[in-house]
Amino acid sequence: MNLSQKISISLTDDPLQVDKVLSLVQSDGAGAVDVFIGTVRNNTQQRTVKRLDFEAYDPMAAKEMEKLAQRACEQWPVEKIAIHHRKGTLYIGDIAVIIAVATPHRQAAFEACKFTIDTLKQTVPIWKKEIFDDGEVWVSAHP
Amino acid sequence: MELNILLFGITKDIVGQQKLRYELPEGATVPDLVAHLKKSYPKLHDLNSVMIAVNNEYGQEDQTLHESDEVALIPPVSGG
């Protein structure tokens, strides 16, 4: 199986669907599927969050997500991997990101999934703004 | 040369627009651009990092910029 058949990347304005992402990593060779779901939380540092606005540099973000999936495939025996990210306006409880990794055994699935979400937060050009009752702030923008 | 620079997130707010036409000396590199922009927009100093993307890839320290490049200013990312 070549790399492009293993990898599913999506950056979309539409709501993310866990079932759909799981079906995309279905593999007869997988004994483990690890899924990370990032959701919108109602508070940050004791301030009430109303919503999040996600902005992406679309072509570069898609490329960086693809590279990230390839790196996971190089480091672990990945059968299938999906990285789906939402953009636009999200409300409390909405899903911002789903990462699903299928591998023959569970240890690799856990490790590859953790690597993927941790690295995504460092390298993929997507920004979120938290909107409070009394203001708004770009996350991680200030020291 | 004149570069077209794409802006996102906090850098869009600092500069006050989504795209910037910016004059730089010929042969300028990625770090030159960061230094010039920080002079023009001192609030960029407040950010943890300001990276430059060239043609959809993170720019390298010694990379020379060209007028035809798609250049973007990348403030600290925060997806996920």
Dump pLDDT digits (tens) for B32-78: 999 999 999 999 999 999 999 999 999 999 999 999 999 999 999 99
List, for residues A83-100, the tens digit of each pLDDT value. 999 999 999 999 999 999
Q: How confident is the model at residue A141 (pLDDT cuts 50, 70, 90)?
A: low
Q: Which of B10, B58, B80 comes nearest A138 by C-beta? A: B10
Q: What pLDDT is stored for residue A143 in this prediction?
A: 53
Per DSSP bridges, beta strands A7-12 and A80-86 are parallel
Q: How far is B46 from chain A (nearest CA, A)?
A: 6
**Phi, psi of A22, deg, nearest 5:** -60, -40
Q: How far is CA A6 from CA A23, A92, A100, A104, A116, in A?
A: 12, 32, 12, 14, 15
Q: Which of B72, B77, B80 comes nearest A97 by C-beta? A: B80
Are B78 and A59 inside 8 Å of each other by CB? no
Instruction: Count interface pairs A-B at CB distance under 8 A.
Output: 80
List, for residues A57-92, the tens digit of each pLDDT value. 999 999 999 999 999 999 999 999 999 999 999 999
Q: How confident is the model at residue A2 (pLDDT cuts 50, 70, 90)?
A: confident
Residue A118 confidence (pLDDT) above 80: yes
Q: Which of B13, B47, B79 comes nearest A126 by C-beta? A: B79
Round to the nearest angstrom and report the end-to-end CA distance of chain A.
44
CA–CA separation, B63 and B12 (whole Å): 24
Are B46 and A63 inside 8 Å of each other by CB? no
pTM value?
Answer: 0.95
Contacts of B58 in chain A (CB under 8 A): 123
> Which tokens belong to B39?
């002079």
Are B79 and A61 inside 8 Å of each other by CB? yes
Radius of gyration, CA atoms only, chain A: 16
Complex-level ipTM beyond the 0.90 threshold = yes
Average pLDDT, integer, range A119-132? 97
Q: At A45, is the secondary structure helix, strand, or coil?
A: coil
Q: How far is A77 from chain B (nearest CA, A)?
A: 24
Longest CA span, chain B: 38
- DSSP notation for A92-141: TT-EEEEEEEEESSHHHHHHHHHHHHHHHHHHS-EEEEEEETTEEEETT-
Contacts of A126 in chain B (CB under 8 A): 77-80
Q: How far is A43 from chain B (nearest CA, A)?
A: 16
Task: Tell me the average pLDDT of chain A.
Answer: 96
